[in-house]
Chains A and B, each alone.
Chain A
Amino acid sequence: MPSKVEGWKDEVYGNEIREHLMEFAEQGWESIPEDEQDAWFERFKWWGLYHQRSGQESYFMMRIGTPNGVIKPGQLEVIGEVAKEYATGPVDNPEFGEAYCDWTTRQSIQLHWIKIEDIPEIFEKLEAVGLGTQQACGDSWRNIVGCPVAGKDKHEHVDAWSVAEDLHETFKGNDDYANLPRKWKVAIAGCDEGCGQGDINDLAFEPAEKDGEIGFNVRIGGGLSRKEPRLARDIDVWVPPEQAADVAHGMSALFRDHGDREDRFNARIKFLMDEWGPEKMRSVLQEDYVDFELATAGEDMRDQYSYNTGSQDGHNDHVGIHEQKDGNYYVGLNVLVGRMGADDVLELAELADEYGSGEVRLTQRQNIIVTDVPEENLDEFTSEPLLENYSPEPSPFMRGSIACTGTEYCSLSIVETKNRQVRYARWLKDNVELPEDHEDFHIHLSGCTASCAQPQIADVSLRGMKTRKDGEPVEALDIGLGGGLGDDPRFADWVEMRVPADEVPGAIKNLVNNFKDAREGGETFRDFVEDRDEETLAEMVEPEETDYDDPYMHNTKMTWYPYAEDDDMQSSPAPTNAAGESLPSDD
């Protein structure tokens, strides 16, 4: 029997949701019938709106999808203005203030505390500069990710940006693929560094050569969610750039028709890949979904990949100053846990305009890149005071810190994440020294098994948990080690479980010191982990209380907002009307 959500999707889904959304916005929050709220909130996701967690009723997270992370000249200013004007809640965040933007691991933008009544104005402002929220969430083509410097990169063999843009335009709002069994995540890259992260996407296009022509090999079925991580599998298909969209049509139609609509937990294509295997996946694609002969895979460039390989050589991320193929430079700025205050966003928009072309790009590491900076502007740009907080040369612990949304807003998360990870990074920067030959050291904190912070592909993976300390329940983290991508991608080994959150910085300090003592020659951290068994590694992670102070040890999920002075669920002002005034609640 089709799931409940499928029933709602059958009634209204896709583009037509907008008309209803606008009507509700016009008439206000209270106009959404109580007995239809679940259905409408599920549908609103398709238009990028996610109802915030319990205690925050009537407030929405809004996701803006920026394909390949490209934010064109003029767009960043509007994003900052929208955040400043509309993304403010009843209480400020103690680290980030009143309004902020989150840059996500899928090169999108998330704003919080959005009121439905403001949607028409927000959409108008965004759409006036070519931005949008369509299909940013929900069961359809999501934001396309890729090498964030596609089209500019000296390491690029085929211009993936033009292909990504074509896919975005083809599949956004396309009724044929508007209602898929589940989300559909696509990655594309044309460079030899592997920064598209295709291995963890549903459909991946990776650069490959065939008969002297550069196109893409196709991989299917990657993903990290739940406790079922999968690497995308090679289906032995090569396509030239001009046929990428045809294969994308075919694969997403195959998923539409064959994905599981009865059990949403089994709906992602990775599970169909488990069931079918790559040979059947290829043959069904060939026989039923494309009308040309698929070429067999070309010669890929995976042995040259440097991104997130832990090799400490080459290009592990996009932070820093790098020359583009046109002779200008891109400057990758570190944004700690991907969150940037709205005023800072507005200032960066001005700086990007002044020193570059006005374009910026988001990375899959929650950072931001200012592109097209002429060499003669570099010194002045990098001397700007704003870059003290968003440095192109950060400490490895600031550079490598990624965190998901966490219990601040998310229904699924078990623990507080972003503010905690900010405190971790600062403490680690002040108290831990990596070996001199390790500039890249990634610590990803995900509040639950959904893995939005991609913990399984980090050097140190942290995943939300609970434990008891002195008999009392406290927030805790599982610790995994040694994950990463590259030619030989591997997921982290979970070696130490349920570590109280206030003992995690001490555990990382001890781990790093043990690594420094025990490493042989120039062994990298990733090789070090790969060469040792779980028991040995677990002994090296010695959880310990230190002078690190964690203000979020209690059950942050039981609060209406973890940073409110009176955080008791009963003290929540939600739901509120358009002006933010509390509405009477049934409870």
Chain B
Amino acid sequence: MTTDVHQLDDGAWISVNDSREVNVSDLWLLARSDFCGCETTDFLAEGFVKVGVDYPDIQARIAGQCIACGESGVTDWLTVGRVVDPDSGEFYGVVHESVHFPEKRTRLSHSRE
């Protein structure tokens, strides 16, 4: 089964296989990111701009801002969870409070909106 990913309601949340999985308004810690000058970006997710699948990762580019320095913008691709078994379609979300490493994509992937 193909993993179906999209953002809905003006980027308020990410749907994975027709299930609401990731919401805005959470704080994410980003490291090794050039989003802002902070060593670790304390990032408030305000809207999902793009979502995609880089098997097994479900990824997103998120609009928001660092609540420490105020820098706002859109992140590089962040892994928000995984669908390890496409047949079951079960989504395993990451813990957003943990440290995450946004990355620039270097290979093609299935991306929507």
Residues of A within 8 A of B (CB): 3-5, 34-38, 41-42, 53-54, 57, 225-227, 263-265, 407, 410-415, 448-450, 465-468, 473, 476, 497-498, 555, 557-558, 586
Set of chain A residues within 8 Å of B53, measured between Cβ atoms: none
Please determine whether A38 and B18 come into contact, CB atoms closer than 8 angstroms: yes
Report whether B17 and A35 are in contact in the complex, using a CB–CB cutoff of 8 Å: yes
Task: Check if B32 is an interface residue, CB within 8 A of chain A.
Answer: no
Q: How far is the CA of A264 from the CA of B50 in the complex (A)?
A: 11
Residue of B nearest to A464 (CB): B25
Chain B 66-105 per-residue mask, 1 if CB under 8 angstroms from chain A, else 0: 0110101000000000000000000000000000000000
A36 and B18 contacting across the interface, CB-CB below 8 Å = yes
Q: Are A3 and B113 in contact (CB under 8 A)?
A: yes
Taking A448-B46, A473-B27 as given, write out 5 further A-B residue pairs in contact, using a Cβ cutoff of 8 Å, ordered by the A residue number: A36-B18, A412-B9, A412-B11, A557-B25, A586-B19
A410 / chain B contacts, CB cutoff of 8 Å: 12
In the complex, what residues of B have CB within 8 A of residue A35's CB? 17-18
- A residues in contact with B8, CB < 8 Å: 5, 38, 41-42
Interface residues of B (CB under 8 A from A): 6, 8-13, 15, 17-20, 23-27, 42, 44, 46-47, 49, 67-68, 70, 72, 112-113
The answer on a CB contact under 8 Å between A412 and B47 is yes
Q: Could you say which of A5, A265, A413 contacts B49, with CB atoms under 8 Å apart?
A: A265
Question: Could you write out 14 A-B pairs with CB less than 8 Å apart?
Answer: A4-B6, A4-B113, A42-B8, A226-B47, A227-B72, A265-B10, A265-B11, A411-B24, A465-B44, A466-B27, A468-B42, A473-B27, A498-B67, A555-B25
Min CB–CB distance B113 → chain A (angstroms): 5
Contacts of A415 in B (CB 8 A): 25
Query: In the bound complex, do residue A498 and residue B70 qualify as a contact, i.e. CB atoms below 8 Å apart?
Result: yes
When distances are taken between beta carbons in the complex, the residues of chain A under 8 Å from B9 are 411-412
Give me the 10 closest cross-chain CB pairs, A-B, nearest first: A411-B12, A412-B12, A557-B25, A414-B25, A4-B6, A35-B18, A466-B44, A411-B9, A3-B113, A38-B15
Query: Which residues from chain A contact B13 at a C-beta distance below 8 Å?
Result: 54, 411
Closest chain-A Cβ to B30's Cβ sits at a distance in Å of 15
Q: Name B5's closest neighbour in chain A (CB-CB).
A: A4
Q: Please report the C-alpha to C-alpha distance between residue A190 and residue B19 in the assembled complex, in whole angstroms.
A: 47
Find out whether the CB atom of A38 lies under 8 angstroms from the CB atom of B6.
yes
Minimum C-beta distance from A51 to chain B (A): 8
By beta carbon, the residue of chain B nearest A41 is B8
Contacts of A557 in B (CB 8 A): 23-26
CA distance A214 to B12 in the complex (A): 44
CB-defined contacts of B72 to chain A, threshold 8 Å: 227
A137 to chain B: closest CB distance in Å? 10
Q: Are A449 and B46 in contact (CB under 8 A)?
A: yes
Instruction: Kindly list chain A residues whose C-beta atoms are within 8 Å of the C-beta of B42.
Output: 468
Minimum CB–CB distance from B72 to chain A (whole Å) comes to 8
Judging by beta carbons under 8 Å apart, are B67 and A468 in contact?
A: yes
Residue of A at shortest CB range from B89?
A35
* Smallest beta-carbon distance B1→chain A, Å: 10
CB distance from A415 to the nearest CB of B (A): 8
CB-CB under 8 A from A414, the residues of chain B are 24-25, 44, 46
B93 CB → nearest A CB, Å = 12
Query: Hey, which chain B residues are within 8 Å of A468, CB to CB?
Result: 42, 67-68
Which residues of chain A are near B44, meaning CB under 8 Å? Answer: 414, 465-466
CB distance from A475 to the nearest CB of B (A): 9
Do B67 and A466 have beta carbons less than 8 Å apart? yes
Indicate if the CB atoms of A465 and B17 lie closer than 8 Å: no
Q: Which one of A412, A465, A497 has the greatest number of beta carbons of chain B within 10 Å?
A: A412
**Residue in B13, B23, B25 with the greatest tally of chain A CB atoms within 10 Å:** B25
Q: How many angstroms between the C-alpha atoms of A260 and B15 in the bound complex?
A: 22
A41 and B15 CA atoms in complex are apart in Å by 12
Given contacts A35-B17, A54-B20, contact A407 B25 (CB under 8 A): yes
Q: What B residues does A450 contact at CB under 8 A?
A: 10
CB distance from B111 to the nearest CB of A (A): 10
Inter-chain contacts of B19 with A (CB < 8 A): 34, 586
Given the contacts A411-B9, A412-B10, A497 and B25 also touching, CB distance less than 8 Å: no
A34 & B113 in contact (Cβ 8 Å cutoff): no
- Which one of A4, A37, A413 lies within 8 Å of B25 (CB-CB)? A413
* Residues of chain B within 8 A of A467, CB atoms compared: 67
Query: Across the interface, do A465 and B67 meet the contact criterion of CB distance under 8 Å?
Result: yes
In Å, the complex CA distance between A4 and B110 comes to: 13
A450 to B24, CA, bound (A): 13
For B12, list chain A residues within 8 Å (CB). Answer: 53, 410-412
CB distance from A59 to the nearest CB of B (A): 13
Contacts of A412 in B (CB 8 A): 9-12, 24, 47
In the complex, what residues of B have CB within 8 A of residue A4's CB?
A: 6, 112-113
- CB neighbours (8 Å) of A225 from chain B are 10
CB within 8 Å for A37 and B27 given contacts A466-B44, A498-B67: no
Contact (Cβ within 8 A) B18 A264: no
Name which residue of chain A comes closest to B112, CB basis. A4
B-chain residues with CB within 8 Å of residue A497 when the two chains form the complex: 70
**CB neighbours of B24 from chain A (8 A):** 411-412, 414, 448, 557
Residues of B within 8 A of A53 (CB): 12, 23
CB distance from B28 to the nearest CB of A (A): 11
Chain B residues near A3 (CB, 8 Å)?
A: 112-113
Distance in angstroms from A510 CB to nearest chain B CB is: 21
CB nearest to B51 among chain A residues: A4
A71 CA to B49 CA, complexed, in Å:
38
Q: Whole-angstrom distance between the alpha carbons of A466 and B17 in the complex? A: 30
A34 CA / B23 CA spacing, docked (Å)? 19
Q: In the bound complex, how far is the Cα of B23 from the Cα of A569, in angstroms?
A: 13
B8 CB, nearest partner CB in chain A, Å: 6
Report how far A449 CA is from B49 CA in the complex, Å: 14
Chain B: CB-nearest residue to A35: B18
Tell me, in angstroms, the Cα distance from A54 to B26 when the chains sit together.
13
Are B18 and A37 touching (Cβ within 8 A)? yes
Q: Which residues of B contact A465 (CB under 8 A)?
A: 44, 67
Cβ contacts under 8 Å, B20 to chain A: 54, 57
Contact B47 A264 (CB under 8 A): no
A555 to B25, CA, bound (A): 8
Instruction: Give bound CA distance, A465 to B65, whole Å.
Output: 9
